[in-house]
Amino acid sequence: MQTYKYRAIAQDGSPVNGVIEAYDEFEAITEIRRTCAVVEDIRPVRKERRFNIDINEPLWVSNKTLAITANQFCIMLRAGLTMSRTVELIAEQCDDKLMKRILRACAQDVAAGYSLANSLEKNGKKVPAVFIETVRAGEESGTLENSFRSLEIYYNRAHKTRKKVKSALTYPIIVLLLAVVVIAVIMIVLVPRMTETLESFGTELPLITRILIGISDFLANWWYLILLVIAAIIIAFFLFGKSDKGKMVYSKIRLKMPIIGKIARMNVAAQVANAMATLLAAGLPVTRVLEIVSRVVDLRCVGEELNKAIVKVENGMSLGEALKDSPYLPAMLIEMITVGESSGSLEETLRTIGLYYTDEATSASDRALGLMEPMITIILGVVVGFIVVAIYIPMFAMSSGAGSV
């Protein structure tokens, strides 16, 4: 509920100033007019911003939480509970602090007579649009239980895929970080000490050793500058990626990269197919489905293509024809959409092709991650080999010279 501060004129002509709580401004004005003749001014009261951050509350609602929540809604609605009681019970049982807070706010609105979708849209800024719009379509069509079942399948699949990729990435990342730390310690601490020993002999050092010493001196003297430059690059990269232009540029770059591009193309194809199937199952029209999916896909360039397709569909084209010229979506996905429309089984076709691309993206990711370990090993071997050779060549040369004398 939102708090509004208003100024009005009572029935007897006297001025009135007050505060009222309502779902929106329209409802607030309606309530004020029950006792006042004229509403002169009304404005929402801004809540005081609090900067105390709960570190235990997640930054966004996870796919796992969304899948569990959808499953709980489905079970309780099937059992015949009212919507207000259902939201209240799920809020009490929810372990995710962010979702618990959202559902508690929704419970108050639903108890006051508002729809769950509108309440989620108002209170759940970090709840995906696919979730909210599927709930809205289920409420409007009277198939809310089926909508929650579709959402459970959709987010459960997304959670399993992300969990698998995250698990596969853990080991290579840990190895790489440890390697960077070890090499940094060698270059900053060990190499300078070895350099003092080598220079004490007064002989000319080989080129490879001088290069190693130069790198070590640079890292030892300018390590803070290196960290600042790296931090600046990361921040600039992040800020540019937040802009519309940056999202478009990065999405196109991802699709053009050798190995990552193929994985990104299959991932976005799976995302588009699965999201569209879920929304169509909820009863949304194709144009509304395209609008929602265009906002939730990971690649902005694909979102723009879906936005362009909305106008074409509104002008009478089929979905397959509208997406036919898209350079970013796989040809097989578009062909299967065309087949699904022709056979009248678009939803089922999208689910099938979505599952196919999900499996393909997972397999491609596994293959790419499998190549990372030997690549990391080779790179580390080259770096360590360079350090060892650069240190021991002058030592062997001096020992050989000493032996000949």
Q: Tokens for 201?
A: 């002999």
- 247-294 pLDDT, tens digit each: 899 999 988 888 888 888 998 999 899 889 988 888 888 998 998 888
Instruction: For residues 196-212, give the mean pLDDT.
Output: 77
Would residue 257 count as lying in a domain? yes
Q: Tokens for 217?
A: 């001196």
Q: H/E element holding 5?
A: strand 2-10
Under DSSP, the state recorded for 269 is H
- 217-232 pLDDT, tens digit each: 888 888 889 889 999 9
Q: Tokens for 150?
A: 């579709």
Domain co-membership, 205 together with 342? yes
Domain co-membership, 99 together with 214? no
Strand pairing report for 36-44 and 15-22: unpaired
Residues sharing a CB contact under 8 Å with residue 71, sequence separation 6 or more, in sequence order: 148, 152
Nearest of 93, 102, 98 to residue 123 by alpha carbon? 102
Q: Which of 157, 176, 196 is the last residue of a domain?
A: 157
Q: Alpha carbon of 303 to those of 55, 118, 272, 297: distances in Å?
A: 33, 24, 10, 6
Would residue 56 count as lying in a domain? no
Domain co-membership, 31 together with 68? no
- 148-176 pLDDT, tens digit each: 988 898 889 888 888 877 777 777 788 88
CATH number at residue 243: 1.20.81.30
Domain co-membership, 26 together with 126? no
Nearest of 3, 6, 67, 62 to residue 35 by alpha carbon? 6
Q: Contact 90/103 with Cβ under 8 angstroms? A: yes
Would residue 51 count as lying in a domain? no
Q: Tell whether the model's pLDDT for residue 142 goes beyond 90.
A: no
**65 vs 399, more confident:** 65
Alpha helices in 282-345 (DSSP H): 286-296, 300-314, 319-323, 331-343
Would residue 244 count as lying in a domain? yes
Would residue 67 count as lying in a domain? yes
Domain co-membership, 120 together with 201? no
Domain co-membership, 15 together with 81? no
What domain range includes position 21? 2-44
Domain co-membership, 253 together with 109? no
| The residue to which tokens 């003297």 are assigned | 221
- Return the pLDDT at 48: 47
Domain co-membership, 364 together with 386? yes
Share of the chain above pLDDT 70, in %: 92
Arithmetic mean of pLDDT over the chain:
84
Would residue 220 count as lying in a domain? yes
d(CA 373, CA 227): 26
Q: Tokens for 404?
A: 């000949």
d(CA 375, CA 367): 13
Q: Tokens for 245?
A: 């232009």
Would residue 52 count as lying in a domain? no
Would residue 250 count as lying in a domain? yes
- Return the pLDDT at 59: 66
| Of the listed ranges 14-23, 26-35, 197-206, the one predicted with least confidence | 197-206
Alpha helices in 243-285 (DSSP H): 244-256, 260-281
- Look up the pTM and report it: 0.70
Q: Which of 141, 157, 173 is the last residue of a domain?
A: 157
Domain co-membership, 104 together with 241? no
d(CA 55, CA 243): 27
Instruction: For residues 395-400, give the mean pLDDT.
Output: 69
Domain co-membership, 13 together with 126? no
Q: Which of 157, 190, 219 is the last residue of a domain?
A: 157
Nearest of 328, 190, 189 to residue 255 by alpha carbon? 328
Residues sharing a CB contact under 8 Å with residue 186, sequence separation 6 or more, in sequence order: 387
Backbone angles phi, psi at 329, to 5 degrees: -95, 140
Domain co-membership, 173 together with 210? yes
Residues sharing a CB contact under 8 Å with residue 300, sequence separation 6 or more, in sequence order: 244, 247, 248, 250, 251
Q: In total, how many domains does the chain have?
A: 3
Domain co-membership, 219 together with 84? no
Under DSSP, the state recorded for 248 is H
